[in-house]
Structure 1
């Protein structure tokens, strides 16, 4: 089948929108399109959560692509999208390599606080995934709501210089496309998984989560070729997590 990756010439910029993910899912918007917004009033998070953009310099981005379901694992796509965001961050802000990581399956952390989130939504029909990739990243701001001070922070310590956001988005489109292309080569998948694990917040961490209706605790071993998180429990049981539960926490 023909893959439909992001195209630089199909970008849009909106002053305000309820949700970039909802805007780009409109059937009139062709595959390969992407959009950024200066303001989002009802940003979507995972499940019933909302994404709250913080500060004066947020990135609010969504892109729409089409993929063959036979060749792509959606959990793996999610973590590869997260790694693409991290690679773009390192390209523009190399100093962030010291403290910025991917938190499986789809968050960006600076230290122990969240600076970015990724939401991958898909629809399946006739062996095809129609995928919307939503990315929120809080570059810089002067204040954080009290309710989020223990959970969120900003990627940068100063405001972005003029033009940086636009150049960042252009590079992000390139890195997102490369992430998808890498998924089609098993050898490249394994190589990229090594890079992701080296830049993982959960590397060697002990976590606790709900699994099969019971609480388990164990050490993170890594991420497998399908994008599942591998855990060795206290009892020596090796388990695979496809996603985090509301009770997921780092010990």
Structure 2
């Protein structure tokens, strides 16, 4: 289902939010930051069917297809002086949104440090956090979630809900709705570091890839430190400390 047909649904359900829907944009994050600069006191949500210059960590870019979720939203930073907790918090929100949408796949999902969501050993979703102002009062959060993409449309290291057998009507609408509920309506303050560790269980028992500088290490997650860094044990038995 085309997300354009769901605009009224989202606006009615989340009347306090301000939505912008696009068929294709360069980057939902850039569009959302533009909205914030024009009126930073609003909670903006930008959704696109596709984006031509989506970005990830380390400045990576990619051409995004019209079969997935490309969403960016602005929020008043709940952790202005604690970027580490903010990172954990957003990872937990993403994990919960997918689990609440499709509880049958919970056993296969895991958060992977620093802020990716994996289905077993393949990437399902990622997060990009950017500042709106120098004081970090408002931030823009971009999320990309593979939904309907087929195996020949995404890299071998990635997967999608459809590839993993999740086939329901309006999957994108369902996930976006759950995500916005988690971010904008949840009021309980929790220990997000502890929850991130809990939801990253598979990476504590399996070998995953981690980037340190220009080098990629394959290893098992050993420890999630209070400062947001991690220690992994690589395939050669060497312990490696990695900072975001």
What's the TM-score, normalizing by structure 1?
Answer: 0.73
76-85 vs 99-108, which deviates more? 76-85
CA contact (8 A) 2:147 2:172 kept: no
Looking at structure 2, the residues matched to 199 and 81 of structure 1 have their Cα atoms a distance apart, in angstroms, of 12
Contact 2:96 2:182 in 1 (8 A): yes
Write out aligned runs for 1:17-166 (5 A): 17-26=25-34, 27-30=37-40, 31-54=42-65, 57-67=67-77, 71-125=80-134, 127-145=135-153, 148=155, 150-156=156-162, 157-162=165-170, 164-166=171-173
**CA contact under 8 A between 1:140 and 1:158: conserved in structure 2?**
no
**Which residue of the partner structure matches residue 197 of structure 1?**
197
CA shift for structure 1 position 98: 1.4
Aligned residues: 223
Q: 2:57 aligns to what SS in structure 1?
A: coil
1:46 Cα deviation from its structure 2 partner: 1.4
Q: Quote the offset at 1:29 in angstroms.
A: 4.6
More helix by percentage: 2
How far apart in 1 are the matches of 2:167 and 2:214? 45
Deviation at 1:226, TM superposition (A): 3.8
RMSD of the alignment, in Å?
3.3
TM alignment of 1:155-194, pairs within 5 A: 155-156=161-162, 157-162=165-170, 164-177=171-184, 185=189, 188-189=190-191, 192-194=192-194
Tell me the alpha carbon deviations over residues 151-176 of structure 1, each in whole angstroms, 9 at most, x when there is no partner.
111123254403x4224212211212
Q: What corresponds to 2:228 in structure 1?
A: 227
CA distance in 1, matches of 2:167, 2:218: 40
8 Å contact kept, 1:205–1:219: yes
Cα gap change, 1:206/1:38 in structure 2, threshold over 3 Å: closer, same or farther? closer
8 A contact 2:52–2:64 mirrored in 1? no
What residue ranges of structure 1 are gaps of 5+ in the alignment?
A: 1-5, 244-251
User: Where do 5+ consecutive residues of structure 2 fail to align?
Assistant: 1-13
Q: Is the 8 A contact 2:208 2:218 kept in 1?
A: yes
Q: Secondary structure at the match of 2:139?
A: strand
Contact 1:139/1:160 (<8 A) preserved? no
User: Normalising to structure 2: TM-score of the pair?
Assistant: 0.75
